[in-house]
Amino acid sequence: MLWSGRKKNDISKAINDYITSKLQKLGIQPALIDAFGGCYDLTEGSPITGMTRKIVIAIMKDEEGIENPEGKKYDYRDWEQIKDFANKFGELLKKYSIFS
C-alpha cells in the first residue's frame, strides 16, 4: 500500500515514481504491483497534526483544488481495487505455496 500525496486519479504515476523505479534500482521484479488512494482525515481529533497536517492541507488545496479542507474527511480508497489486488495476491500465494 502506498500513500504518495499524488492525485487520486494518478495511480500509474505513483506506481512509477514511488514503487517501480525503486524496485528496479534494487533489481527486484515484482509479480504484482499496485498503489491505492488514501484517506485524508482532517476532522477534529484526527491523528494528522502539526506539520503533517499543514502539508496535507497544502496538497489538498493545490492538487485537489479544495479551498478549505480543514475539518473534513476525504476518502480516496477504492475498495473494489483493493479487494481485486488482495484476491490476486492470494492467488499468487496459492500458486507458490509449498502446502498446496
pTM value > 0.95 = no
What average pLDDT does the structure give for the chain? 84
Any idea where the domains of the chain sit in the sequence?
A: 1-37, 38-76
Contact 69, 42 (CB under 8 A): yes
Helices (H) and strands (E) in the chain, counts: 4, 2
Which range is least confidently modeled, 4-8, 41-45, 72-76?
Answer: 4-8
Which residue bears the cell 477504492? 78
Average pLDDT over residues 3-30: 79
pLDDT tens digit string along 17-41?
Answer: 888 989 999 999 999 999 888 888 9
What is the pLDDT, as a whole number, of residue 39?
85
What is the pLDDT, as a whole number, of residue 80?
95
Provide the H-helix boundaries in the chain.
Answer: 11-14, 21-26, 50-59, 79-96
**Closest to 41 (Cα-Cα) out of 61, 69, 81, 65:** 69
